[in-house]
Structure 1
Amino acid sequence: MIWHNIKSKSFLSAYVLVVLMLVVAVVTDQKDILFPEIAGMAMGVMVFPVPHWIKKPVHLWLSPTLAAFMGTSLNALSLTPLLKIWLGFVIIVILMHIFRVNFGPTIPAGLLPIFLGLHDYVFAITTAIFTFVIMLAAFKARNPEKLSNGPATFRKKIDTVIISMVLCLWIWLAFATGIEVLVVPPVFALIFEIFHSEKFTWKLIPARLAVLTITAILSVGVYHMLDESIIWVGIINVLITLLLCNLFKAPVPVAFGVSLMPLIYPAWGSWWFPLGVLITTGVLMCISAAYRQFRN
């Protein structure tokens, strides 16, 4: 199965896009170009297709692009980083609801420039470029004949309000305790989506938790082993993540984003990062499963 995925044209296309992002960041000496969720988005469209992502390809480009520009713009405000992140998160969620966007990676696209304190628009511009390519891939991958013609179901407002409060409290906890590794943007995207899923149950947690945690452990290990080489660390970590997704039979696109996070921020390159991923993913997934059990 793993060899079949590696040889597939879809994986090679997604892999080339990720490697291109890494190469451009090194050649231009601009780490701000690195957006880990590009890897997750590419895999979630080309390798492990997420149906509701592919259904509206334009959202794959516009949503994260606008969020990235908005997040960068908020850094001009005279507010604390926590207030900026809260404000950015609330704006993103409101706009996602107004425009009926079901694309979780929109959230990390808006939060990362705030968390990293980016003031130029390099991150936003390159996000626009790479997500445009992913949008084209989604147009090619989707099959209009299989799309539902009935009224589209959309997440309930009460669910959105509750998970938004939970994530805001989690971000506050990270800032209040000074434990930066609890801020894991790709995981936030995953939790936002599964919280609204009608079929998320307890038995789905172990495999996903294992994939994300082991990915974080091995990614940090490779990061230190290869002396922080952006290109080689990215190349190897994406392959490791693909192997883990197949091994645990749990295709989790955001795991590819987690695998690249050690490259962009010191705390995420430390050995505390896997613990942060384990705690963040485990606690928030359990909250999601418990809430879904209560609602059902």
Structure 2
Amino acid sequence: MGGFSRLWSFVSKAGLFGDAATAAYIALVAAIAQATGLFYVLFPELGALSNDILRRPHGTWARAPVLLVVTPFLTAIVGTLVTRHMAYDLSSVLLTVGCAILIIRVLKSPIAPAISAGLLPLTLGLPDWRYPPSLLVGTGLLAVLAGIRHRAAPVPLTLVRARDRADDIVEEAPIDYSWAPFFLLFLLVAGLAASLTGQRFILFPPLVVIAFEMFAHAAVCPWAGRPLILPVACGLTAAGGVIAVSLLGAGPLAAACIAILGVIVLRLFDLHVPPALAVGLLPFVMPDPTYAYPVAVTFGTALLTLTFLAWRRLVAALGRS
């Protein structure tokens, strides 16, 4: 019995239970998507949300099950409405992202991945009104699992790890928006590049979430401290997603493999970027994923890195003056 307790303690501390549970959950949602024929039931950001919620049952996202369901649903409605009435260009991108951030601000929601839910239909050219309610399947199931996991997992009696405290802050809705002009500058540059080249995935939906949390919580955001490795990690998870779907098809096995591969990449780099798991799952909902996707992902993430470094240098210079 003592040996089992020690083993379980190791598994829990290493986050292995959460990683395995994430792969199982993603496979289940993929099976539902395959059975219903609605591929967008597997909303890619479910990878990020499930990994954090199942690993950290007392974290910020896990403590907001209602907003977990409501926020992506509302932003998806906005994204679908924009997609039905506007072509993909810089104005439609900015309108969609702006409305999604407004929804998050009004609701005081910590669910930043909902921004991706709004931008996804515009990026994919998906004007289907079945998309918003389809998100309720995955987020609703995850909300139930979050509640069960939250009640079953003991409340830590010791001090919470510094990384957990940082993750909680990063997931909270921002209070200060002084960073917004540079975030907007990034959206303008990346959106313009996507529009001019026709490579919409230069501004892939999870990248907006990565940028939002990176700028909003620069002091504690895990990937804000290592921005140069971010394009490599996202590029690898994107390539892994394309390879998995190409070899295994868009089914539960491919989805589980993508989730596991994403976790492995992030662990190899010791980089905690939950939205990177969504990057790997995007090929699952793309009509014809090709290797142009990881190239576009790497380029777009590099643009974010350059913009963020420029902003951080400007802030430091103003602080010294």
- Map of 2:132 onto structure 1: 124
Amino acid at match of 2:267: N
CA distance in 1, matches of 2:173, 2:285: 37
2:226 equivalent to 1:219: no
Equivalent residue letter for 1:111: L
| Match of residue 259, structure 1, among 280, 290, 310 | 280
Give the superposition deviation at 1:32: 3.0
28-37 vs 197-206, greater mean Cα deviation: 197-206
When normalised by structure 1's length, the TM-score is 0.84
The alpha-carbon deviation at position 230 of structure 1 amounts to 2.6
Q: Any idea what the Cα deviations from partners look like across 1:96-147, whole Å, max 9, x if unmatched?
A: 2233334321111011122223333332112123212333444544969989
Describe the SS at the equivalent of 1:96.
helix
Name the counterpart of 2:299: 279
Q: 1:276 to 1:11 in 2, by over 3 A?
A: same
For this pair of structures, how many residues does the alignment match? 289
Higher-Rg structure is: 2
Alpha-carbon offset, residue 18 of structure 1? 0.9
Partner residue of 2:264 out of 243, 253, 260: 243
What amino acid does structure 2 have at the position aligned with 1:232?
L
The answer as to whether partners of 1:212 and 1:258 remain within 8 angstroms in 2 is yes
Q: Name the SS for the 1:158 alignment partner.
A: coil
Tell me, yes or no, if structure 1 residue 27 matches structure 2 residue 35.
Answer: yes
1:202–1:286: 8 Å Cα contact kept in structure 2?
A: no
Whether the 8 Å contact between 1:191 and 1:285 is mirrored in structure 2 is no
Write the letter of the residue equivalent to 1:80. Answer: A
Structure 2: which 5+ runs fail to align? 1-9, 317-321
Inter-CA distance 196–292: structure 2 relative to 1 (3 Å threshold): farther
Q: In the aligned structure 1, how far is the partner of 2:224 from the partner of 2:146?
A: 31
2:94 to 72, 75, 86: 86
Shift in Å, 1:284:
0.3
Q: How far apart are residue 50 of structure 1 and its match?
A: 9.5
CA–CA separation in structure 2 for the residues paired with 1:120 and 1:220: 24
CA, structure 1 residues 89+274, in 2 after alignment: closer, same or farther (shift >3 Å)? same
How far apart are the structure 1 equivalents of 2:156 and 2:11? 26
* Distance (whole Å) between structure 2 residues aligned to residue 19 and residue 291 of structure 1: 39
Deviations 1:198-236 (A, max 9, x none): 32587512443332121122222222233x343222121
2:19 is aligned to 11
Does the Cα contact within 8 Å between 1:65 and 1:131 map onto a contact in 2?
Answer: no
2:27 & 2:273 partners in 1: Cα distance? 19
Give CA-to-partner distance per residue, 1:134-171, whole Å, 9 cap, x none: 334445449699899xxx98332332343134214412
Q: Distance in 2 between matches of 1:186 and 1:251?
A: 14
1:36 corresponds to 2:65? no
Q: Distance in 2 between matches of 1:163 and 1:116?
A: 23
How many Å separate the matches in 1 of 2:306 and 2:175?
Answer: 19
Task: Give the whole-Å Cα distance in 2 for the aligned partners of 1:50 and 1:205.
Answer: 27
- For 1:198 and 1:283, locate their aligned partners in 2 and report how far apart those are by CA, in whole Å: 17
- Between the aligned partners of 1:295 and 1:72, the Cα distance in structure 2 is 37
> Which runs of 5 or more structure 1 residues have no equivalent in the other structure?
none
Identity of aligned residues (%): 21
Tell me the SS of whatever aligns to 1:76: helix
Q: Is the 8 A contact 1:22 1:34 kept in 2?
A: yes
CA distance in structure 2 between the aligned counterparts of 1:211 and 1:264, rounded to whole angstroms? 20
- RMSD after superposition: 3.2
Deviation of 1:11 (Å): 3.1
TM-score (norm 2): 0.78
Whether the aligned pair in 1 keeps the contact of 2:215 and 2:308 (CA below 8 Å) is: yes
